[in-house]
RNA sequence: GCCAAUGUAGCUCAGAGGUAGAGCACUUCCUUGGUAAGGAAGAGGUCAGGGGUUCAAUUCCCCUCAUUGGCUCCA
C-alpha cells in the first residue's frame, strides 16, 4: 500500500497509508475533533469525512463552525426528514431536498394527502427518533440504468426526470436506514450528530421552479448539534419578529395601508413622512455637494415615451394599464421609471461637452403593477419613490463618475450604520440573451466600466450573472437585516442603450456630435424599502437626527405642566423635536411608556429642577444621566447628532 | 399570478349554529405621585365584503377583497 501526503490548513504535512479517511486523521489529531467532524474539504471539494483518500491532498476538516460543515449537516437533515416522511406517509414521492442558508427543505408530492403545519411536530418526533439511532450515511455508486429502474419501480417520476438529465455513467446514492436517495453528497457520518430539530414551515413550491408544472409541498426545517443552539436560533427569530418593520411601522405611527386605497400603496403617516423628509434632505444635501441638480417630472407620460425607452415592450403587459384622455383617446402610462423623462430633459436644449457631466436628480414616484403575492410591507409595493438620478457624461468621464457615485453610496451606508453589505456586480445571463436590449459592444463597455471602477476602489465584490437590468449591468448594494436576509438597497447602473434609443447627443470639443453615456443610480433604492430596512436594522430606535420625537418632557406632576410647555418651546427654538407627556400619571409610568415608545431622551421636570433651573436627563436604554442645564443638554444632543452625521 | 393559512374593538388575541369577550390603548373622575405599569367608571365591533344553506349564520358552504408564509417575478 502506497503512502499519501496530507497537508492540513496550518501547513502541517502528514503521511498516511492510502485509503485513510479524514475521520481517521481527525481521530489521530484528537478524539474531541473526531466527534465533531461533519465533513472534509478535500482539495477544495467538500466530501464525506468517511470517504477514503487515494492521493496527496490538501485537507480541511469541517465542523459545525465551518459553513461547509453546516451545509453538510443540513443536507443530511433533509435526508433524515425524507426518511421520517416516508415512514409516516408511505408512497409519497420526492423532488429535491437541498440545504439552504438557514437549514434545508425537501419538496414532496403527498399525492391525495393534505399535509399541514400541524403535522410538523409528528415528523420532528420521528426524525429525533431516527437521529438517536445514529444511522450511518452510506454512499454507493450505481449505473444510470439501475438508478432509473429503481425509481421507475418506486413510481417517483421526479427522480426519474432528474436522473434522465444526468450524464451517463455512475450515479451516487446515499442510504440512511431504510431510505435511499439519489444524491451527490456529501453527508455527515451518521444521524447522531443531529441533536435538535425544528421544522419551520410548509409551503407550496413548483416542481423545478416552473409555474406551469405541478406544485409540490415544500417542508422547511433547521437542525443543530446542540439543543442550546436551536434555542438561540428561535430567540433570534423572535428578535426578528420584534424588529419587523410592519409591526414597528404600526407601533411608531410611521405608515399604514388601506384596503380602500389599494394593496401595495403605502400611506405615510405624519411621523413617517417627517422621517422620510429628513432622509431626503440628508441625501439632497450630499448630492448638492456632488454637483447634482434637481429636476421634477410628472407621474404619467405618453405610451410612446416608454415604447422608445423599451420599457413598454418589456414590462407593458405587467404594468398598470394605460390611461386614456377622454376625447382624443391618447394613451398615457403611470411612470414605472424616471429615466425616460430625464432623457427628454437632457434633450430639451443642445448640450456641449462643457455641460457634462450633467447630473439630474429627482425623488421620483413610480408605479409598477407587482404581482399580488409579491407585496410585502414597505419593501415591495406598487407605488414608491426612488431617490433617482441620471448622470449624463462622456466616455472619458464615466469611470470617475461611477467611482464618485460609489463614494456617495458608501458615505450614506456609513452614516446610517449599514456595515454589513455586499457589493454585487449584476451581469447578463449568458444563456438568455433575448432578455436584454442593446448591442454586445455597449454591454461589454458598460460591464468593463463597472468592474474597473470597483477594482480601482479596491472593493470586495461578487459577480452574479443574470441579475442585470434589461438595458445594462448594475452594481447593487445588498445589506443584511435582522434575520440575516439580504435586501437590495442602492444600485448604480451603466447604460449605453437609453442614450441610443433617445438619440441623445452633445457637441464635443471637436465640434462633432457625440453620444453621452448614462449612469442610473439610487443610493437608497426606494424610500419605502429603505425606511423598512432601516427600521429593522435599528429595531425602531432611529438615529437621533432621524427619529420622529427626540425628547419627551415629563413633568413630575400637573403643577409643572406649564414649565414643561415652556421648555418644549425652548427646545423647538433650538431645532429639537420635543413632546410633553402631561398625563396625570406617576413619573414611573411616564418613564415606562416613553421608554417603550423608543424616545431617545427624556427630561424630567419637578420641583428640584425648576428651582435650580436644571433638567434631569434620561437616555433610552441607559437610564438616568443626572441633571444639567438646558443649554448643556442641547449641546449634548447636538454633539451626538453631529457625530452621527460625520462618521 | 400560483399553493396554503388567516381576517372578531385602535392594538394583541379568546370564543361559539341561538345576533359577542379579555388585556392593553382611549374618555371621564379620583389621585399630584421623584426615575420602567396608582385606582374607579365608561365608551368602543354590520365578527373583511357579497352570496348561499338554515326557523336562525359572526360560526357551515361558495365567491371577492386583504394580510401572512412560500413559489414565480422585480425596469
In the residue annotation, A520 being an active-site residue is answered as yes
Q: Do A75 and A59 share a structural domain?
A: no
Q: How far apart are CA A402 and CA A406, in angstroms?
A: 6
Give yes or no: residues A406 and A429 share one domain: yes
What's the gap between Cα A479 and its chain centre?
6
Structural domain boundaries enclosing A505: 255-537
For residue A174, give the CATH number of its domain.
3.30.980.10
Site of grid cell 439610487 = A522
Q: What is the ipTM of this complex?
A: 0.94
- Strand B atom within 7 Å of A616 CB: yes
Question: CA–C1' span, A273 to B44, in Å?
Answer: 29
- Using alpha carbons, list the distances in angstroms from residue A556 to A577, A605, A618: 20, 6, 14
The answer to whether A511 CB is within 7 Å of strand B is no
Residue A368 approaches strand B within 7 Å at CB: yes
Query: How far is Cα of residue A387 from the mean position of the Cα atoms in its chain?
Result: 19
Q: What is the 3-state secondary structure (H, E, C) of A214-282?
A: CEEEEEEEEEECCHHHHHHHHHHHHHHHHHCHHHHHHHCCCEECCCCCCCCCCEECHHHHHHHHHHHHH
- DSSP label at residue A568: H
Residues lying close to strand B (Cβ under 7 A), chosen from 469-488 of chain A, are: 469-470
Listed as ranges, residues in chain A with pLDDT below 70 are 1, 481-485
Shortest-distance nucleotide from A114 CA to C1': B4
Co-location of A222 and A75 in the same domain: yes
Through-space separation of residue A80 CA and nucleotide B57 C1' in angstroms: 46
Do the beta carbons of residue A281 and residue A317 sit within 8 Å?
A: no
Chain A span 298-317 residues with beta carbon within 7 Å of strand B? 311, 314-315
Instruction: Quickly give A637 CA vs B12 C1' distance in Å.
Output: 35
Last residue of a domain, one of A11, A29, A63: A63
What's the grid cell of residue A552? 419627551
Report yes or no: A182 and A212 within 8 Å, Cβ to Cβ.
no
Per 3-state DSSP, chain A is made up of helix, strand and coil in percentages (nearest 5) of: 40, 30, 30
The C-alpha atoms of residue A505 and residue A448 are separated, in whole angstroms, by 22
Are residues A150 and A29 both part of a single domain? no
Check if A388 is active-site: yes
Find all residues with CB under 8 Å of A316, minimum gap 6, and list them: A306, A333
C-alpha cell at A519: 449612469
Q: What is the CATH number of the domain that holds A50?
A: 3.10.20.30
Which nucleotide is nearest, taking the CA of residue A105 and each C1'?
A: B70
Choosing from A505, A537, A569, the residue where a domain stops is A537
The C-alpha cell 460543515 sits at A69
Nearest nucleotide relative to A251: CA against C1': B11
Give the end of a domain, one of A32, A63, A94. A63
Residue of A287, A386, A488, A550 marked active site: A386
Residues A639, A645: Cα–Cα separation, whole Å: 10
Q: How many separate domains does chain A show?
A: 4
Tell whether A47 is covered by a domain.
Answer: yes
- C-alpha cell recorded at residue A638: 447636538
- Let me know whether A454 and A565 are in one domain: no
Q: Does residue A247 sit within a domain?
A: no
Q: In terms of domains, do A75 and A173 share one?
A: yes
pLDDT score of A485: 67
Does residue A469 belong to any structural domain of this protein?
A: yes
The rounded distance, in Å, linking the Cα atoms of A571 and A599 is 15
Q: Would you call A342 a catalytic residue per the annotation?
A: no
Q: Which contacts (CB < 8 Å, 24+ apart) does range A14-18 have?
A: A16/A53, A18/A52, A18/A53, A18/A54, A18/A55
Q: Which nucleotide is nearest to A470 (CA to C1')?
A: B75
What is the spatial distance between Cα A287 and Cα A171, in angstroms, rounded to a whole number?
58
Same domain, A138 and A33: no
Is strand B in 7 Å reach of the CB of A587? yes
Judge whether residue A378 contacts strand B, using its CB and a 7 Å cut-off: no
pLDDT in the model for residue A482? 61
Using CB atoms within 10 Å of the CB of residue A153, give its burial: 0 to 12 exposed, 13 to 18 middle, 19+ buried. exposed
**Three-state SS for A195?**
coil
Nearest DNA or RNA nucleotide to A366 (CA to C1')? B75
Q: Which three-class secondary structure state does DSSP give residue A583?
A: coil
A241 Cβ contact list (under 8 Å, min separation 6): A247
Q: Which of A245, A351, A390, A529 is catalytic?
A: A390
Return the CATH number at A640.
Answer: 3.40.50.800
Counted residue by residue, chain A has a size of 647
Does A336 contact strand B, using a CB cutoff of 7 Å? yes
- Can you give the CATH number for the domain in which A341 is found? 3.30.930.10
Q: Which of A119, A181, A244, A388 is catalytic?
A: A388
In this structure, are A277 and A377 located in the same domain? yes
Q: What is the DSSP string of A133-146?
A: TT-BEEEEEEEHHH
Please tell me what DSSP assigns to residue A526: B
In sequence order, the 6+-apart residues with CB closer than 8 A to the CB of A349 are none
Can you tell me the distance from the alpha carbon of A238 to that of A255, in angstroms, rounded to the nearest whole number? 23
C-alpha span between A7 and A134 (Å, rounded) = 30
Q: Which nucleotide is nearest to A315 (CA to C1')?
A: B75
Q: What is the pLDDT of residues A231-271, one digit of tens each?
A: 888 888 888 888 999 999 999 999 999 988 999 999 999 99
Q: Å between A198 CA and B28 C1'?
A: 50
Q: Does residue A275 form part of some domain?
A: yes
* Residue A452 included in any domain: yes
What lies within 8 Å, CB to CB, of A45 at 6+ separation is none
Residue/partner pairs of A204-208 with CB below 8 Å, 24 or more apart: A205/A105, A205/A107, A207/A95, A207/A107, A207/A158, A208/A95
A604 touches strand B (CB under 7 A): yes
Identified catalytic residue from A70, A126, A520, A590: A520
A265 and A175 in a common domain: no
The answer to whether strand B lies under 7 Å from the CB of residue A112 is no
pLDDT, position A484: 63
- A210/A410 Cα distance (integer angstroms): 38
Residue A423 lies in a domain: yes
Q: Are residues A305 and A419 in the same domain?
A: yes
Query: If you compute the radius of gyration of chain A from its CA atoms, what whole number of angstroms results?
Result: 30
- Residue A435 known to be catalytic: no
Nucleic acid strand B within 7 Å of A618 CB: yes
Query: pLDDT tens for residues A451-469?
Result: 999 999 999 999 999 999 9
- CA dihedral sign, ordered A270, A271, A275, A276: negative
What is the reported pLDDT for A267? 95
Residue A341 annotated among the catalytic residues of the structure? no
Whole-number Å distance between alpha carbons of A590 and A596: 10
Say yes or no: A420 and A533 in one domain. Answer: yes
Is strand B in 7 Å reach of the CB of A342?
A: no
d(CA A103, CA A97): 11
The reply to whether A384 falls in a domain is yes
Question: Is residue A248 in a domain?
Answer: no
A327 in catalytic set = no
The residue lying closest to nucleotide B69, measuring its CA against C1', is A203
User: Do A455 and A336 sit in the same domain of this protein?
Assistant: yes
Q: Is A390 a catalytic residue?
A: yes
**C-alpha grid cell for residue A71?**
451545509
Q: Which of residues 67-106 of A touch strand B (CB under 7 A)?
A: none
Amino acid at each position: 500500500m502506497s503512502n499519501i501526503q496530507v497537508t492540513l490548513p496550518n501547513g502541517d504535512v502528514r503521511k498516511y497509508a492510502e485509503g485513510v479517511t479524514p475521520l481517521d486523521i481527525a481521530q489521530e489529531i484528537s478524539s474531541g475533533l473526531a466527534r465533531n467532524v461533519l465533513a472534509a474539504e478535500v482539495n477544495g471539494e467538500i466530501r464525506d469525512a468517511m470517504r477514503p483518500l487515494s492521493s496527496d491532498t490538501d485537507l480541511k476538516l469541517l465542523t459545525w463552525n465551518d459553513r461547509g460543515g453546516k451545509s453538510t449537516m443540513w443536507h443530511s437533515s433533509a435526508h433524515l426528514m425524507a426518511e421520517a416522511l416516508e415512514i409516516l406517509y408511505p408512497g409519497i414521492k420526492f423532488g429535491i431536498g437541498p440545504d439552504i442558508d438557514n437549514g434545508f427543505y425537501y419538496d414532496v408530492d403527498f399525492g391525495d394527502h393534505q399535509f399541514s403545519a400541524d403535522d410538523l411536530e409528528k415528523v420532528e418526533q420521528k426524525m429525533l427518533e431516527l437521529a438517536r439511532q445514529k444511522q450511518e450515511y452510506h454512499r454507493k455508486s450505481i449505473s444510470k440504468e439501475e438508478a432509473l429502474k429503481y425509481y421507475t419501480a418506486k413510481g417517483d417520476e421526479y427522480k426519474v426526470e432528474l436522473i434522465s438529465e444526468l450524464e451517463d455513467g455512475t450515479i451516487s446514492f446515499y442510504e440512511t436506514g431504510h431510505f435511499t436517495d439519489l444524491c451527490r453528497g456529501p453527508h455527515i457520518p451518521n444521524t447522531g450528530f443531529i441533536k435538535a430539530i425544528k421544522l419551520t414551515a410548509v409551503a407550496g413550491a413548483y416542481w423545478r421552479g416552473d409555474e406551469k408544472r405541478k406544485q409540490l409541498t415544500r417542508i422547511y426545517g433547521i437542525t443543530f448539534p446542540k439543543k442550546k443552539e436551536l434555542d438561540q436560533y428561535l430567540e433570534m427569530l423572535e428578535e426578528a419578529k420584534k424588529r419587523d418593520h410592519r409591526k414597528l411601522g404600526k407601533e411608531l405611527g410611521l405608515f399604514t395601508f388601506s384596503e380602500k386605497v389599494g394593496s401595495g400603496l403605502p400611506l405615510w403617516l405624519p411621523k413617517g413622512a417627517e422621517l422620510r423628509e429628513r432622509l431626503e434632505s440628508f441625501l439632497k444635501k450630499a448630492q448638492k455637494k456632488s454637483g447634482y441638480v434637481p429636476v421634477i417630472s410628472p407621474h404619467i407620460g405618453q405610451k410612446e415615451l416608454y415604447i422608445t425607452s423599451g420599457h413598454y415592450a418589456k414590462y407593458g403587459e405587467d404594468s398598470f394599464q394605460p390611461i386614456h384622455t377622454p376625447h382624443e383617446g391618447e394613451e398615457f402610462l403611470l411612470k414605472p421609471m424616471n429615466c425616460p423623462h430625464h432623457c427628454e430633459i437632457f434633450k430639451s436644449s443642445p448640450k456641449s461637452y462643457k455641460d457634462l457631466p450633467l447630473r439630474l436628480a429627482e425623488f421620483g414616484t413610480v408605479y409598477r403593477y407587482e404581482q399580488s403575492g409579491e407585496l410585502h410591507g414597505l419593501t415591495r409595493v406598487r407605488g414608491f419613490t426612488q431617490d433617482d438620478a441620471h448622470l449624463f457624461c462622456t466616455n472619458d468621464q464615466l469611470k470617475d463618475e461611477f467611482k464618485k457615485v460609489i463614494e456617495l453610496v458608501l458615505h450614506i451606508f456609513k452614516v446610517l450604520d449599514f456595515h454589513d453589505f455586499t457589493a454585487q456586480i449584476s451581469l447578463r445571463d449568458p444563456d438568455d440573451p433575448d432578455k436584454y436590449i442593446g448591442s454586445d459592444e455597449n454591454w461589454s463597455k458598460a460591464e468593463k466600466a463597472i468592474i474597473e471602477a470597483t477594482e480601482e476602489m479596491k472593493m470586495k465584490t461578487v459577480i452574479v450573472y443574470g441579475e442585470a437590468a434589461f438595458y445594462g449591468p448594475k452594481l447593487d448594494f445588498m445589506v443584511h437585516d435582522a434575520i440575516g436576509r439580504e435586501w437590495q438597497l442602492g444600485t448604480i447602473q451603466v447604460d449605453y442603450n437609453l442614450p441610443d434609443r433617445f438619440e441623445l447627443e452633445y457637441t464635443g470639443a471637436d465640434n462633432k456630435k457625440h453620444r453621452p453615456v448614462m449612469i442610473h443610480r439610487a443610493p437608497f433604492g426606494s424610500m419605502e424599502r429603505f425606511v423598512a430596512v432601516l427600521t429593522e436594522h435599528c429595531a425602531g430606535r432611529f438615529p437621533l437626527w432621524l427619529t420622529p420625537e427626540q425628547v419627551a418632557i415629563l413633568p413630575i406632576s400637573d403643577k409643572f405642566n406649564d414649565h414643561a410647555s415652556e421648555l418644549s418651546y425652548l427646545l423647538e427654538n433650538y431645532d429639537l423635536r420635543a413632546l410633553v407627556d402631561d398625563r396625570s400619571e406617576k413619573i414611573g409610568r411616564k418613564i415606562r411608556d416613553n421608554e417603550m415608545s423608543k424616545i431617545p431622551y427624556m427630561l424630567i421636570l419637578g420641583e428640584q429642577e425648576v428651582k435650580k433651573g436644571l433638567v434631569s436627563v434620561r437616555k433610552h436604554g441607559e437610564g438616568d444621566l443626572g441633571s444639567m442645564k438646558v443649554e448643556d443638554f442641547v449641546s449634548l444632543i447636538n454633539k451626538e447628532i453631529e457625530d452621527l452625521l460625520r462618521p
